[in-house]
């Protein structure tokens, strides 16, 4: 949602741009959020066709109403131990920029929580974790009802090669 600033608004651009609706979901003990505009569809876990010679977190592809969509396991991508898929496990189909245009990528998460409407004031910048560059993949942190949600920049997350150290950063 592009923010339209006028001269009278001293609000920080960053916070304004990040405000909006987020879909929150769980991975292990953490709650994450991604912008709703990036979400195309949510579905329960279904059969995935494995593709050979792919990194561990790339699970394969699924048939999404005639389209072949790649699916990655976000736990594995972040370096968390893999978990068995349960009734709650979901695939969130996201739409992110690829090399030439937008592409669909599904991410497997432990469970989907809710949609939160976050105002700029509720979002804080990611604390400085030191040298770790992984912080650039986060839009910020939000505190809602006493719980902290980690807001992901899903574009960057899905285009990054190796995010396994994100896990250590979060603990």
Partner 1 sequence: MSHPPELRQQIEDLALQSILGETAGAGTPAPEKWLAALQNIGSLARGAGAAELADMAQATMESLLRAEPGSTEAAANLQAGIAKLQSWLENVDQPPAAKPESLSQDPELLSDFLLEAREHLASLEAQVLTIERDPRNSEALHSVFRSFHTLKGLAGFLELWEIQKLAHEVETVLDQARNFQLTITPAAIDVILESADYLRRWLSHLELILQNQPSSAPARDENLLQRVAGLLSAPPSPAASPGLAELASAVEAGGPAAPAAPPQEPTADSPKRAEKMAVKVDTAKLDYLVDMAGEMVIAETMVRHDPELARLTHPRLHRNLQQLTRITSELQKTAMAMRLVPVGPLFQRMARLVRDLSRQCGKSVELETEGNEIELDRTIVEELADPLMHMVRNSMDHGIEPPAERQGLEKPANARLLLKAHHQAGQVVIEITDDGRGLNREKIVAKAIEKGLIAAGDQLPDKEVYDLIFAPGFSTAAQVTNVSGRGVGMDVVRRGIEKLRGRIEIQTQLGRGTTFLLKLPLTLAIIDGLVVGVGKERYIVPLFAVREMFRPKDDTIWTVQQRGEMALVRGTLLPVLRLYRRFGVMPRSENPLESVVVVAEAGSQRFCLLVDELIGKQEVVIKSLGETFRDTTGVAGGAILGDGRVGLILDLERLFKDKTGDAAR
Name the site residues for partner 1 (rule: CB under 8 A).
1-2, 21, 23, 36-37, 39-44, 47, 49-54, 58, 60-63, 65-68, 70, 72, 90, 98-99, 103, 105, 112, 115
Residue in 58, 153, 36, 46 with CA at minimum distance from that of residue 89:
46
Among 41, 34, 19, 42, smallest CA distance to 119 is for 19
Residue 144 pairs in a beta bridge with 147
Q: Rounded CA gap, 76 and 107, in Å?
A: 11
Residue tagged 């974790």 (tokens): 129
Token readout for 121 is 């004031």
Residue 63 or 168: the one with the smaller Cβ distance to partner 1 is: 63
CB of residue 88 vs partner 1: minimum separation in angstroms?
Answer: 10
Across the strands, what pairs with 152? 138
Q: In angstroms, what is the minimal distance from the CB of 165 to partner 1?
A: 21
The Cα–Cα gap between 93 and 88 comes to: 16
């Amino acid at each position: 949602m592009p923010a339209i600033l006028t001269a009278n608004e001293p609000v920080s651009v960053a916070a304004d741009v990040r405000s909006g609706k987020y879909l929150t979901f769980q991975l292990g003990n953490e709650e994450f959020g991604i912008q709703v505009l990036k979400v195309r569809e949510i579905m329960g876990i279904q059969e995935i066709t494995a593709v050979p010679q792919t990194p561990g977190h790339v699970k394969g592809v699924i048939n999404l109403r005639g389209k072949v969509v790649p699916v990655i396991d976000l736990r594995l991508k972040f370096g968390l131990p893999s978990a068995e898929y349960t009734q709650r496990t979901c695939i969130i189909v996201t739409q992110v920029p690829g090399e030439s245009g937008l592409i669909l990528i599904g991410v497997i998460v432990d469970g989907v929580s809710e949609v939160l409407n976050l105002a700029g004031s509720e979002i804080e910048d990611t604390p400085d974790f030191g040298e770790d560059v992984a912080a650039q993949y986060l839009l910020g942190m939000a505190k809602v009802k006493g719980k902290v949600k980690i807001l992901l920049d899903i574009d960057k997350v899905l285009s990054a090669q190796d995010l396994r150290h994100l896990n250590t950063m979060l603990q």
